[in-house]
Structure 1
Amino acid sequence: MKNAEPKAIFLKDYQAPSFEIESTHFTFDLYEEYTLVTSILKMKQTQNQPAPLELNGQDLELMWVKVNDQILSEDQYALQDESLTIAALPDDFTLSIQTKIKPQENTALEGLYKSSDMFCTQCEAEGFRRITYFLDRPDVMSVYTVHITADKSAYPVLLSNGNLVATQDESDGRHSATWHDPHKKPCYLFALVAGDLQHIEDTFTTMSGVDVTLRIYVEPQNIDKCDYAMGALKRSMKWDEEVYGREYDLNIFNIVAVDAFNMGAMENKSLNIFNSSCVLANPKTATDATFQRIEAIVAHEYFHNWSGNRVTCRDWFQLSLKEGFTVFRDSEFSADMGSRTVKRIEDVSLLRTAQFAEDAGPMAHPILPASFIEISNFYTLTIYEKGAEVVRMIHNILGESLFRKGSDLYFERHDGQAVTTEHFVKAMEDASGKDLSQFRHWYHQAGTPELWVSDSYNESAQTYALTIKQTCRDTSETDIKKPYHIPFAIGLLDSAGKDLTLSCNSSAFNDATQVINVTQHEETFEFEGVKTAPVPSMLRGFSAPVKLNYDYQPEQLMHLMAHDSDGFNQWDAGQTLATSVILSLSQDVLAGTDLKMDENLLAVYAKWVAELSDDLAKQAQMLSLPSLAYLIEQQPQAQVHALYTARTFVKQAISDKLHNEFNEIYVACQVSGPYEPTHDAMAKRTLKNLCLQYMIQAQSKDYSAIAQTQFEMADNMTDQYTGLSALVNSNHQEKAQKALASFYEQWKEDVLVTNMWLSLQAASDYIDGVAGANALLSHPAFDIKNPNKVRAVIGAFAGQNLRHYHAQDGLGYNWLADRIIELDALNPQIASRLLGPLTKWKRIAQPNSSKMKQALEKIASRGNLSKDVYEVVSKSLAD
């Protein structure tokens, strides 16, 4: 590479800060051409030996520096590209700094920037250094007072963290607002918003009787899209009190919706800033999936008030301390709000498809990484989703009561502190009395463990033996993988499908599901009193994030699908059977032999479509085929087009065989009356619309008129968008193009709906490959500076349209490389996150593998790569 290699930062080099900031006072003078930021910091040294003060800063114009009201001359400090260093400071002092910044030119969307006509901030992880010179690290916590001035007509709303303590009209049409946050926080939780906004307002009374004002601020055209998020916020507050005993701690809680935002949302203390796509919804403009996503994200950011804000990270290596724990909390909340089985299926599907792929690729890292070059690259599924699974395993090992006792101790012991993952695990140990020493390997070892399971049944002794061997691939952080502590939930079914009462290694258990603790490289567990050879139901509820290798026979899988009391494993048995069939057919595709549909799989689908079940959301999951992305992960050298052909054949065969039954369910699941985002109504629509997706694939009957009618007559976006999607992803392209034009004309003024329209086309099998993707890039609705639009087109094409992205001519890879190079100059975070599809080059069969590598090399050959892109590309090519 032409770049000078950026330096890695190592956890082992962590040192406590030499200074603390007792109080922070900011003045932000907002103007159209620039912003002046004036800080007054009351500081003191924390070490016995005096040390120079090195402050972080990036893209700042320094106006002046004062120590105890004395302006420093240029020879009294050292100014470099990303730092300001001051030597010879007293033990206690006041540091004042003024900087000039240009938010309107900040395309990286970190620090203070403008989204449309609104000023807003994003400071996690290291964005605050783009605002002013500061100790931009999470273990420096301070009490903040923020004074904001701006033109009143353009920016009538001025917001920051904490409580509003003063407002005033200034001269020349300007006004000011002063906010004070009494809770100490690191600068990554700082927030500021200024704009012409409207809000809705509600109240929540906490369990101790305090009334909290709740407000959601949006641009005026979106004021009718806030009600659902407000309800989700109140449900979250109530749940956190009931389940964790956590009460909100201020008198006001604000949410602001922002169109240009790198992330989903940000948990800034008392002023959550949300990507507009994660908070705005009404029935006409948002699908059921959007409503569910909003509820989960609102809950996630609110739960951070304790698991992230009141107790925060000591350093960024500890990121999963707050994110993993909070993802577990929001997952449990969503499970309580809807179907627990379906929520578990959704979470595990994401984990197996995307996080396991991350574990198998060049960016594999432990949830407590030992080093990084750019921290933004570690906002990964490993940190979030695998981190949540690690917390879930502690919950599985301790049980609900002891886990709650441990979380109470953690919050009480570390309130107001910046701590590490070790503090969390230690609190769980101390509260429960259980030894988690071996469990800690989950924090320090990368990769997905694999379990190799064999079994035997002794008819005369009536015993059933299960031998479990665990392995994990080599990864860079350690030469020798120590055995994991794996909670392995198991049940045994008899020939009638009933759960057996388990007795393992002479210890009797009353429950049909037993969690056995796998702690050795290989060990055997013996179950006594088993009168007939059982069918094992393993890893119930997906009790650990591992790959399971066991030689299930088709009849065993069908037995589990018919009888397993664990809803997740019932679904998983069907997925295992379908995956096996598709993988086998893909080999027939490569061999050029005729494809023949598996009768067992057809029988399974016929059973699940025969009548409506008690859990319609679960029934929809049972009838869904494994995704192409998941299937790709099941082959060490994936033949993408063979898998695509095989999966398409299976879906076609099911559609042709069962289209009448799908139509009957489609009719039975029509929802009458006004749209409601309730669990039952959503479940009906989910199953109905899945049936439509099958029906329109049928060759023996034309169902396109039904899809077209649903699209034209729908009174809600879920049904309208699904009708459109069914047409777009079918052979009925003339109708599809007319529907796409009609949809755009109807919704072209709504940014979020237009993004859905872009994404649907970018992900469609029927798009004209790279040429079609380029047409979307040139459409007036696309803007490469807006992350949501980038994700809608570039992310959807490379991440979801696997047929065209993996075209054997390599054009898809080259196209993505060009987009990443272009984006790296504008927004390195987004550019880096789009690299994922290229990093999997070693997992894809030739000739595609070499062409993917060539695309990475094309990016690597460019000069001036950001740290974000450099780290991912260099690791991908070195892997």
Structure 2
Amino acid sequence: MSDLSASPVIPVNTVTRLADYRVPEFLIEKTHLTFELYEEYTDVSSRLTITRNPKSTKADDLVLHGEQLELRSLAIGERTLHPGDYQITPHSLTVRNVPEQFVLHCTVRIYPEKNTALEGLYCSSGMYCTQCEAEGFRKITYYLDRPDVMSEFETVIIAREGAFSTMLSNGNCLSDTMQDGKRIVHWHDPFKKPSYLFALVAGNLVCLEDHFITQSGREVLLQIHTEAKDHDKCHFAMQSLKKAMHWDEQTYGREYDLDRFMIVAVDDFNMGAMENKGLNIFNTSCVLAHPASTTDAAFQRVEGVIAHEYFHNWSGNRVTCRDWFQLSLKEGLTVYRDSEFSADMNSRAVKRIEDVNLLRSVQFVEDAGPMAHPVRPDAYMEISNFYTVTIYEKGAEVVRMLANILGSERYRQATDLYFDRFDGQAVTCDDFVQCMEEVSGRDLSQFRLWYSQAGTPQLHISDSYDADHQQYSLTVHQHTPATPGQTEKKALHIPLKVALYGNQGALALIIDGQIRDAETVLDICQTQQTIVFEQVAEHPVPSLLRGFSAPVRVFYDYQLDQLQKLILLDSDGFCRWDAMQSLMRIVLSKAIDNKGDHAEQAMLMDTLRRLLTDHTAMDAALLARMLELPGEQYLASLYDKANPPAINQARTQLQHKLATQLQTELMSCYQALQNSASGLSAQAMAARNLRNQALMYLLQIDDTHYRDLAQQQFSQADNMTDQFAALRGLVHAEHARIEAQAALQVFYQQWQHEALVVNMWFQVQATRPWGNVLQEIQQLLQHAAFDARNPNKLRAVIAAFANQNFARFHDSSGNAYQFLAEQIADIDQRNPQMASRLLTPLTHWHQFIDEHASLMRKALESLSQRELSKDVYEVVSKSLNERNVG
């Protein structure tokens, strides 16, 4: 191991802390912005109506945020200010001795064409676009760039006549005129919002229009703006938007408030999408979809992201967060909302499995490492680094737990209270929980620890059965491991949903003489507690954590026959899948640890054979998920010191064994689904998913028949799902390298003009689990279709390799670790946010055996010696020091 003393130390004065929060000293009642777009620069004139905040202490000076701005003029009312009246630093503008109420006039010059960070106002491929969350607005003009300063915005965009067909901003369009050879478009947003929700777009775009009639009878104009070449790929997004609007009215009673709702698709975008009020800006990957060029998984992602950003109109825009420590207030709630929407639109069980897979393989790992932080962090250096799976996905699980504790009816009443009480305000996580308390009458003070305590709780569960008294007992012991900065953990309020299964199915549940439903939620609030079930006529099998009712690890010593019973009988789709994962995990763990696994393998083979033989008896989408082996990253997270080569070898060998011994059943399943329904129905998608899962297994076998099968599917497919599945199967099968090379060439020739499909072509090569992939990665970076400035291309090659190619990224040479560090250092000079997010795999060094951990640390240390952005510096420093920023 390297010397820890060489690790950099985070400068204390750069840290922002929740404990230091103070209300703003000034408020901005109205914001009027004028953008004059020129080819080489943009002039931004602001007129801010400012008042002192009556809730704040009196301040003589006004301090505004601002970065990378050239001040052109500054005035209060009619009085022009001179250099002695103000002070400029690289991050602020201080105006001295301001009155109680005043109008500040300011003009700055910015250079969107040079903005490679894609934050603030930037220009890419001739299109102007903004990204202001979290602190990008301060790169547009001097402002109180904090979420608790909410203002009514008017925006005027001025450009040379004919320069842009589309000039958009938030709210409703007041006018669109021509004057003196210039086009002038005036927008007004009547709803107060913080500056992070500001948006502007100017480009040559085409528009798909539709309308939605709200539950109160208002007609809303819906618009999706794209480049002309992508116009035919917006119809699915439009239908998804209308579904989301209807669902939000029915499920939450939330109606859209403006006259129009606009979406713009942008190819160069750091995030997936942004919920700016009335003008959502989307990464093209999250809005464009067409059956010929889009997979089923991508269709479902588009549907989910469209819904997520629309739902933000209430959970984030109308009610926003007081400060960035409360980020999960809007993101966790909205992720929960979009997850429930997607579950209603597709397979509920499969959606839950997808969410849990992400939590277990990514968020649990984050919670166990040096980057662990609470859902509501205590401190940060760079807020962009806290757009994490903990804030989003674990935050969503916290909301789900509240819904489980309250029940659906009271949860809806509580959210109604929350939206009504805090409409137009910037509030906190505590405000949200307080609404849950008031409606339910329950004391949730212990539950609040979920917001402030980091780490993944562990539930160790044991049981006993008293046949004479027909009593069955579950004893639950909870423990949360220490995390950086939090060594002592308190017991949490954990809703544990359970059912009991006998030989004929679910048993009646009676606790303390009260009859419960077939499944019930147990409130686990103590370090150890025992629950006794009465009148239990046989020794049951417990079905634990049904629907994944809390983001915890459950440890219960299931016997093999108990797991099989749950797999075959459980009515909870998540629990069926989880039991299968447990059975597979037992087999894989014994192989990784070089222990005999004959009985376990036999049970696994028998169970899978029974499911495949009767595959029409269950949801095809769920069965496809049950066929998947646990991922390598998740398997690694189960070890204190994981051995990557051993994990990869065990998983690869089991895949081959399953394919070989079940090939008759797999082939029968594949053929039975060959003529399954086409289209985008949930049933058609499920059939394709199961069919392609069978093909993936068959391609594990070195047999020309199965390679021919894949080639035939590749060439004859009438949809991208089947074509790409065949391509991926060939590329990832080492014995199919000749067929794969030919398919890759055909695929690129066919789709080279579709940027999103080319990204898939990059990704399938970057994730190939065999051979010298790093050398191929280097070649892909030189490919004519690769653009290092485009975040989607970086994700398709570098992020896909580091995050999804476990075997090759963790090659024992350590070359991949150093490669990633070098790429991050290069990207950091252009786009710090992207560079910081690409760092994640290296931050997991503590998970692995010393041979790998030391090489990963070495790569991080090489980064620490460079001049880094604040974004990357924070992650590198915390990863090396293994302590919180605070």
TM-score range, shorter chain: over 0.9
- Displacement after TM superposition at 1:579 (Å): 0.7
Aligned residue number for residue 720 of structure 1: 723
Q: Secondary structure at the match of 2:554?
A: strand
| 1:564-643 paired onto structure 2 within 5 Å | 564-588=570-594, 598-611=601-614, 612-643=616-647
Q: Which of residues 328, 334, 339 is equivalent to 1:331?
A: 339
Q: Which of residues 689, 703, 716 is equivalent to 2:706?
A: 703
Which residue identity is paired with 2:822? D
User: Does the 8 Å CA contact 1:656/1:699 hold for their aligned counterparts?
Assistant: no
Which residue identity is paired with 2:568? A
- Whole-Å separation in 1 of the counterparts to 2:489 and 2:302: 39
- Displacement after TM superposition at 1:614 (Å): 3.3
User: Does the 8 Å CA contact 2:9/2:877 hold for their aligned counterparts?
Assistant: no
Find out whether 1:691 has 2:694 as its counterpart. Answer: yes
- Whole-Å separation in 1 of the counterparts to 2:752 and 2:504: 54
Which residue identity is paired with 1:754? V
Aligned residue number for residue 677 of structure 1: 680
- Whole-Å separation in 1 of the counterparts to 2:285 and 2:454: 32
- Displacement after TM superposition at 1:171 (Å): 2.2
Which residue identity is paired with 1:530? V
Q: Which of residues 464, 467, 477 is equivalent to 1:469?
A: 477
Aligned residue number for residue 667 of structure 1: 671
- Displacement after TM superposition at 1:615 (Å): 0.9
User: Does the 8 Å CA contact 1:540/1:568 hold for their aligned counterparts?
Assistant: yes
- Displacement after TM superposition at 1:672 (Å): 5.6
Aligned residue number for residue 878 of structure 1: 881
User: Does the 8 Å CA contact 1:445/1:477 hold for their aligned counterparts?
Assistant: no
CA deviations 1:373-423 (Å, max 9, x no partner) are: 000000000000000000000000000000000000000000000000010
- Relative contact order, CA 8 A, sep 6+: which one is greater? 2
- Whole-Å separation in 2 of the counterparts to 1:509 and 1:685: 42
Shifted more, 476-485 versus 751-760: the winner is: 476-485
Shifted more, 39-48 versus 442-451: the winner is: 39-48
- Whole-Å separation in 2 of the counterparts to 1:50 and 1:636: 53
- Displacement after TM superposition at 1:303 (Å): 0.3
Aligned residue number for residue 411 of structure 2: 403
Q: Secondary structure at the match of 2:358?
A: helix
- Whole-Å separation in 1 of the counterparts to 2:713 and 2:600: 31
Aligned residue number for residue 170 of structure 1: 179
- Whole-Å separation in 1 of the counterparts to 2:519 and 2:744: 50
Aligned residue number for residue 41 of structure 1: 48
- Whole-Å separation in 1 of the counterparts to 2:475 and 2:574: 23
Structure 1 residues 403 and 29, CA gap change in structure 2 (3 angstroms) = same
Find out whether 1:319 has 2:327 as its counterpart. Answer: yes
- Displacement after TM superposition at 1:4 (Å): 7.9
Shifted more, 608-617 versus 828-837: the winner is: 608-617
| 1:293-372 paired onto structure 2 within 5 Å | 293-372=301-380
CA deviations 1:331-360 (Å, max 9, x no partner) are: 000111111111111111111111001101
User: Does the 8 Å CA contact 1:497/1:559 hold for their aligned counterparts?
Assistant: no
- Whole-Å separation in 2 of the counterparts to 1:481 and 1:190: 40
User: Does the 8 Å CA contact 2:762/2:780 hold for their aligned counterparts?
Assistant: yes
- Whole-Å separation in 1 of the counterparts to 2:108 and 2:732: 53
Which residue identity is paired with 1:502? L
- Displacement after TM superposition at 1:556 (Å): 0.9
- Displacement after TM superposition at 1:668 (Å): 1.5
- Whole-Å separation in 2 of the counterparts to 1:699 and 1:705: 11
- Whole-Å separation in 1 of the counterparts to 2:625 and 2:652: 18
Shifted more, 664-673 versus 741-750: the winner is: 664-673
Q: Secondary structure at the match of 1:509?
A: strand
May I ask how many residue pairs the two structures share in their alignment?
871
Aligned residue number for residue 196 of structure 2: 188
User: Does the 8 Å CA contact 1:497/1:564 hold for their aligned counterparts?
Assistant: no
Aligned residue number for residue 62 of structure 2: 53
Q: Secondary structure at the match of 1:732?
A: helix
CA deviations 1:462-511 (Å, max 9, x no partner) are: 111111110011123434211000001111111x141111112x142241
- Displacement after TM superposition at 1:626 (Å): 1.0
Find out whether 1:447 has 2:455 as its counterpart. Answer: yes
Find out whether 1:789 has 2:823 as its counterpart. Answer: no
Aligned residue number for residue 21 of structure 2: 14
Structure 1 residues 876 and 825, CA gap change in structure 2 (3 angstroms) = same
User: Does the 8 Å CA contact 1:608/1:622 hold for their aligned counterparts?
Assistant: no
User: Does the 8 Å CA contact 2:65/2:93 hold for their aligned counterparts?
Assistant: yes
| 1:106-117 paired onto structure 2 within 5 Å | 106-117=115-126
User: Does the 8 Å CA contact 2:25/2:57 hold for their aligned counterparts?
Assistant: no
Which residue identity is paired with 2:759? N
- Whole-Å separation in 2 of the counterparts to 1:115 and 1:581: 51
Aligned residue number for residue 855 of structure 1: 859
Find out whether 1:824 has 2:828 as its counterpart. Answer: yes
- Whole-Å separation in 2 of the counterparts to 1:541 and 1:48: 49
- Displacement after TM superposition at 1:51 (Å): 3.2
Q: Secondary structure at the match of 1:54?
A: strand
Which residue identity is paired with 2:215? M
User: Does the 8 Å CA contact 2:676/2:687 hold for their aligned counterparts?
Assistant: no
Structure 1 residues 799 and 503, CA gap change in structure 2 (3 angstroms) = same
CA deviations 1:223-252 (Å, max 9, x no partner) are: 000000000000000000000000000110
Find out whether 1:77 has 2:86 as its counterpart. Answer: yes
Find out whether 1:813 has 2:820 as its counterpart. Answer: no
Aligned residue number for residue 140 of structure 1: 149
- Whole-Å separation in 2 of the counterparts to 1:87 and 1:594: 75
Q: Secondary structure at the match of 2:705?
A: coil
Aligned residue number for residue 67 of structure 1: 76
Which residue identity is paired with 2:565? H
User: Does the 8 Å CA contact 2:368/2:483 hold for their aligned counterparts?
Assistant: no
- Whole-Å separation in 2 of the counterparts to 1:652 and 1:157: 54
CA deviations 1:697-751 (Å, max 9, x no partner) are: 1246630111111111111111111111111011210110011011111111111
User: Does the 8 Å CA contact 2:583/2:600 hold for their aligned counterparts?
Assistant: no
- Whole-Å separation in 2 of the counterparts to 1:427 and 1:657: 55
Which residue identity is paired with 1:598? Q
Q: Secondary structure at the match of 2:405?
A: helix
Q: Which of residues 442, 445, 450 is equivalent to 1:437?
A: 445
- Whole-Å separation in 1 of the counterparts to 2:757 and 2:881: 41
User: Does the 8 Å CA contact 1:377/1:832 hold for their aligned counterparts?
Assistant: yes
- Whole-Å separation in 2 of the counterparts to 1:806 and 1:232: 39
RMSD between aligned residues = 1.4
Aligned residue number for residue 523 of structure 1: 529
TM-score by length of 1: 0.98
- Whole-Å separation in 2 of the counterparts to 1:72 and 1:60: 17
- Whole-Å separation in 2 of the counterparts to 1:281 and 1:829: 26
Q: Which of residues 642, 653, 657 is equivalent to 1:653?
A: 657
Structure 1 runs (4+) deviating above 6 angstroms are 1-4, 593-597
Shifted more, 47-56 versus 801-810: the winner is: 47-56
Find out whether 1:508 has 2:514 as its counterpart. Answer: yes
- Displacement after TM superposition at 1:671 (Å): 4.2
User: Does the 8 Å CA contact 1:597/1:650 hold for their aligned counterparts?
Assistant: no
CA deviations 1:602-646 (Å, max 9, x no partner) are: 111111111223311111111111111211111111111111111
- Whole-Å separation in 2 of the counterparts to 1:12 and 1:156: 48
Q: Secondary structure at the match of 1:809?
A: coil
CA deviations 1:762-812 (Å, max 9, x no partner) are: 011135232111111111111111100001000011001111110111001
- Whole-Å separation in 2 of the counterparts to 1:49 and 1:780: 59
User: Does the 8 Å CA contact 1:728/1:766 hold for their aligned counterparts?
Assistant: no
Structure 1 residues 48 and 869, CA gap change in structure 2 (3 angstroms) = closer
TM-score by length of 2: 0.97
User: Does the 8 Å CA contact 2:119/2:136 hold for their aligned counterparts?
Assistant: yes
Which residue identity is paired with 2:586? S
- Displacement after TM superposition at 1:597 (Å): 7.9
Q: Which runs of 5+ in 2 are unaligned?
A: 1-6
Aligned residue number for residue 802 of structure 2: 798
Q: Which runs of 5+ in 1 are unaligned?
A: none
Aligned residue number for residue 464 of structure 2: 456
Q: Percent identity?
A: 51
